[in-house]
């Protein structure tokens, strides 16, 4: 419009055209002014006219049905925030759950350890011992090797463990006479002395007895020898640990040698053993030891060869029993010293006073020579008829081995020979002296100076030939 004004003068424009241009200009200018004045209409016009001519502000507009009044970018950010919060809450709950589980596991372990520590005091000794024995037997596959007896069967076979059926006290237990079903065959049943409620101060008692039970089952199940007591079965019951052996009817060698006199009404002591019988018994036990040390692999050390553990048959044959302390020997290990090739076992010394190997007691190294030492003490008992320990003798002579060795060294063997043997006359004295000399070698303080069981058996068989033959007598 300004350009138009520059090109045309006012005189050149006709009145009608001028009026039309002026009207157009006014209308255009009025429209422009209105548009420019629209945001400020509340200042130049009344509120009613302004509101009627302008569209309502965005804040006053009614939202359409089905549509959100928020912008689209705000909807996206709001959904992201909700998802983030949900993930944070879920992660927190998961962490809390893991912490709870860890705490629960820790509490359970703590309680279980406390229960194990209190088991000897809270549970019955027999029940825990039977459980340990059953686990041991299953681990070694021994639960089906021997006919197992039930507690009820053995209780009935011993008449309820009647004291009148008692045969004697063995290692860790009492032995009863039993008549096994169905044939009523006689047998010896040992009931181990498991404490009913062991004291927490001495928790090892039950474990020691259980180990003795397992030892006998493990070792005797694999042994076969005419001069070893045979194991026929066992019972590992919460009420008792029971072992079933051959019944050897004639008592023990200790009973025959020491001839203890009982009280009023007791059976009279057995008659003295002839020297020939004593020598035959020594050879029989030596053959059993030779079998244990050389006839089975791994070798077995009895560890408790005593006159109380040698049982006498009706025909006066001897059989070695009670393997509760026995051990299997292994090849030389770290505890072996020097270049020794003998089998050894490092273990705390165990055995019976008077029979315990002093070398084993000093070194804690158990070898088959420990059995040889104990056997030498038994041979000295056969020669003298005296007990292995007697506190009535002088202090240096309390043990039989020390006393007899001292007598042999000064040439006074006859002073300690059993009087019934001396009464048999000079015909037996040469063999008595030879046996005493062999026993002297067996009880040498150093194990390397002792013969092994094979040498002992060979020497005893040679000594037997020194006796005159008796018609119809089988020596071994």
Q: Are residues 323 and 223 in the same domain?
A: no
Under a CB-based contact definition with an 8 Å cutoff, are residues 374 and 409 in contact? no
Per residue in 399-434, pLDDT (tens digit) is 999 999 999 999 999 999 999 999 998 989 999 999
Note down the domain range covering 336: 250-467
Domain boundary residue among 214, 231, 247?
A: 247
**Given the structure tokens 């029971």, which residue do they identify?**
242
Per residue in 159-206, pLDDT (tens digit) is 999 999 998 876 578 999 999 988 889 999 999 877 665 555 445 667
State the total domains in the chain.
2
Q: Are residues 242 and 255 in the same domain?
A: no
**Dihedral sign for Cα atoms in the order 240, 155, 325, 140:** negative
Among 2-16, 206-220, 281-295, 376-390, name the one with the lowest average pLDDT: 2-16
Per-residue confidence (pLDDT) for residue 345, from 0 to 100: 65
Q: Are residues 347 and 203 in the same domain?
A: no
The CATH number of residue 232's host domain is 3.30.200.20
Report the residue count for the chain: 476
Domain boundary residue among 222, 247, 272?
A: 247
Catalytic residue annotation: 304
User: Is there a domain that residue 332 lies in?
Assistant: yes
Q: Are residues 142 and 187 in the same domain?
A: yes
Coil, strand or helix: which one is 393?
A: coil
Q: Are residues 325 and 214 in the same domain?
A: no
Nearest to 452 by CA among 375, 366, 337, 399: 375
pTM of the predicted protein model:
0.67
| Count of Cβ atoms closer than 10 Å to residue 42 Cβ | 12
């Amino acid at each position: 419009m300004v350009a138009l004004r520059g090109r045309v003068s006012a005189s050149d424009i006709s009145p009608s055209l001028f009026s039309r241009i002026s009207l157009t200009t006014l209308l255009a200018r009025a429209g422009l002014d209105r548009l420019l004045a629209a945001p400020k209409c509340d200042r130049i016009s009344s509120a009613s006219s302004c509101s009627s001519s302008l569209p309502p502000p965005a804040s006053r507009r009614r939202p359409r049905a089905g549509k959100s009044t928020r912008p689209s970018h705000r909807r996206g950010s709001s959904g992201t925030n909700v998802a983030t919060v949900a993930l944070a809450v879920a992660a927190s709950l998961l962490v809390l759950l893991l912490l709870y589980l860890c705490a629960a596991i820790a509490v359970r372990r703590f309680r279980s350890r406390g229960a194990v520590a209190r088991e000897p005091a809270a549970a019955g000794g027999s029940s825990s011992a039977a459980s340990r024995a059953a686990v041991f037997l299953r681990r070694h596959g021994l639960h089906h090797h021997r006919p197992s007896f039930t507690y009820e069967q053995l209780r009935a076979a011993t008449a309820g463990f009647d004291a009148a059926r008692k045969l004697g006290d063995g290692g860790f237990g009492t032995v009863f006479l039993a008549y096994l079903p169905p044939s009523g065959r006689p047998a010896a049943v040992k009931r181990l002395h498991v404490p009913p409620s062991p004291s927490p101060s001495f928790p090892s008692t039950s474990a020691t007895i259980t180990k003795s039970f397992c030892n006998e089952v493990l070792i005797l199940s694999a042994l076969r020898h005419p001069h070893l007591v045979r194991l026929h079965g066992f019972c590992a019951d919460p009420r008792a640990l029971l072992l079933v052996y051959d019944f050897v009817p004639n008592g023990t060698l200790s009973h025959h040698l020491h001839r203890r006199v009982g009280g009023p009404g007791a059976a009279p002591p057995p008659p003295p053993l002839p020297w020939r019988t004593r020598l035959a018994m020594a050879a029989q036990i030596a053959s059993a030891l030779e079998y244990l040390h050389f006839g089975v692999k791994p070798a077995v050390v009895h560890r408790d060869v005593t006159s109380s553990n040698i049982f006498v048959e009706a025909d006066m044959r001897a059989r070695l029993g009670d393997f509760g302390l026995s051990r299997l020997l292994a090849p030389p290990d770290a505890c072996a010293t020097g270049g020794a090739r003998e089998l050894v076992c490092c273990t705390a010394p165990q055995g019976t006073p008077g029979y315990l190997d002093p070398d084993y007691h000093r070194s804690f190294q158990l070898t088959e020579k420990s059995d040889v030492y104990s056997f030498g003490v038994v041979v000295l008992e056969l020669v003298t008829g005296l007990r292995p320990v007697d506190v009535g003798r002088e202090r240096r002579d309390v043990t039989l081995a020390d006393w007899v060795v001292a007598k042999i060294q000064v040439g006074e063997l006859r002073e300690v020979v059993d009087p019934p043997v001396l009464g048999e006359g000079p015909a037996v004295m040469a063999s008595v002296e030879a046996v005493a000399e062999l026993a002297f070698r067996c009880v040498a303080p150093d194990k390397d100076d002792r013969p092994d069981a094979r040498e002992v058996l060979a020497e005893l068989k040679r000594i037997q030939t020194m006796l005159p033959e008796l018609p119809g007598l089988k020596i071994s």
